[in-house]
Structure formats: structure tokens, C-alpha cells
Structure 1
């Protein structure tokens, strides 16, 4: 909101003096000025969206990599006969629920 304050001021002034602007054919100047004032906040918003998207995707990537590693290790333990399928999932879901509880 603070970044769009200058653009809002331009729009308010234009609406307040619409007759003056129309009489001097200044509509396009006001539009150009408004777009110029909106340019920085829009670039900042796009940059912030990209950074947020990369961070969000990295966090999900780490979650899926962790799940993959857990299932890979569990498959080897089960193949060696050191554990069973039901014990693996019992521990896995207990850890997942504990992680959700902590977060």
C-alpha cells in the first residue's frame, strides 16, 4: 500500500482536477505519470513473488527428498529382514505427525 501511495496521489489529483486536465488535453500525460509511479512497486512485487516461489519450491523439494531417503533406507532394511512393512509405516507416520505438531 505504501509503495502505491504516490500513484494514488496522482490518480486523486487527476480526478479532482478532471476539468482542468481535459481542457488542456493532459489525459495522456496523467496516464503516463500514473504508469511511471506504478512501475517500481510492480517490479518489486514480481521480484518478491519470484523469491517467494523459489523458497516455497525449495522447501517442498527438501520434504520430498527427505521422504525419498526415508523410503529408500526402509526398503533396504526390509530387504535385509531387519524390519517389516508395517513397522516402517508406523514409525514414518509417527515422525510425520510429530513434525506437523512441532511446526
Structure 2
């Protein structure tokens, strides 16, 4: 299967609701690489890489988020999968 990567920005009530920990767990369960972090503007930003189907599923899941989140929008931009390190981490 083809590998892809996307930069993702999620807006809404996504900070203070364990969104980053949730995203790391979901990404790890799908075998994805990348990272997730909070942005100063209140949104969450991520870089997600892996098999195309798994990345697409992750972006779909990110539009829902954990139970306490209230996602308004999810924006994606293509990225280079070769530039993404192994593992999935929370960045601070």
C-alpha cells in the first residue's frame, strides 16, 4: 500500500480534553508515525504518516476526537512521508 503523510490542524475545543494523548494512542494502534502538539491559538497540530488507508482513518477519527472534544474543523496539507521519523510522540 502507498505511504502518505499529512499535516493536520484541528480547531474547536481540542485543548484541555486529552486530545493529544488520545491522538497518540489512536495513531499507535494504526501503526502510524508522526507527532501531535497544542498550538498557541488553541488548536491542535499533527503530522501523520503511514499507509494511505490508515492515515485517512486517522484524519477521520481526528474530526471526532476524544469524548470531551468538540471539533469544529480539520484542515490537512500533504507532506513528505520520507521526512517523518518512526514512532508517534506528543510534542510540547
Length-normalised TM-score, structure 2: 0.25
Length-normalised TM-score, structure 1: 0.23
Greater strand percent: which structure? 2
Which of structures 1 and 2 has the larger relative contact order (alpha carbons within 8 angstroms, sep 6+)? 2
Greater helix percent: which structure? 1
**Bigger Rg, structure 1 or 2:** 1
